[in-house]
């Protein structure tokens, strides 16, 4: 089950929620300060699945009119040169980069830290670091 917590003092008016049966995402839509607002919280499968990524970004684009945000664990990197300590680049990495660019989404952290290397995950099995978690905004 998914949960998105919204502080009770935030003037958010809930309109709609869309989820999948596997618990991979939840899309919440509503009004925030009088503007349409969409939030798509996402947990991408830990496998090479480019279609999942493009389908969810398309879903977000269809349900976002004024403003939205996609936070989540994408289980892939946006820029392998900066976001990985090894250079393996599965298809989903390229898919995320292309899909976000086509949808007009940016990785907020990277906007403020364009040349920085920092990581959100360590794989003991592969002895590699990766940045897999993003906040994407239009």
Instruction: Give the class (CATH, top level) of 12-137.
Output: alpha beta
Annotation-wise, does 73 bind a ligand?
Answer: yes
Per-residue pLDDT of 14-35, as tens digits, reads 999 999 888 899 999 999 999 9
User: For the whole model, what pTM was predicted?
Assistant: 0.86
State which residues of the chain have pLDDT below 50. Answer: none
Distance, C-alpha 89 to centroid of its chain:
18
Largest CA distance in the chain: 48
Is 75 labelled a binding residue?
yes
> Which stretches of the chain are assigned E, i.e. beta strand?
12-19, 25-32, 35-43, 67-73, 106-107, 121-123, 128-130, 133-137
């Amino acid at each position: 089950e998914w949960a998105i917590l919204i502080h009770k003092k935030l003037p958010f008016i809930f309109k709609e929620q869309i989820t999948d049966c596997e618990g991979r995402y939840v899309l919440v839509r509503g009004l925030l300060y009088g503007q349409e607002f969409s939030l798509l919280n996402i947990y991408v499968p830990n496998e090479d699945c480019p279609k999942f990524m493009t389908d969810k970004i398309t879903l977000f684009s269809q349900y976002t009119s004024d403003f939205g945000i996609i936070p989540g664990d994408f289980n892939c990197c946006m820029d392998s040169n900066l976001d990985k300590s090894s250079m393996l680049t599965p298809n989903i990495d390229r898919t995320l980069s292309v899909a976000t660019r086509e949808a007009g989404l940016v990785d907020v952290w990277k906007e403020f830290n364009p040349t920085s290397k920092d990581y959100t995950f360590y794989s003991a099995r592969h002895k590699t670091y990766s940045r897999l978690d993003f906040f994407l905004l239009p």
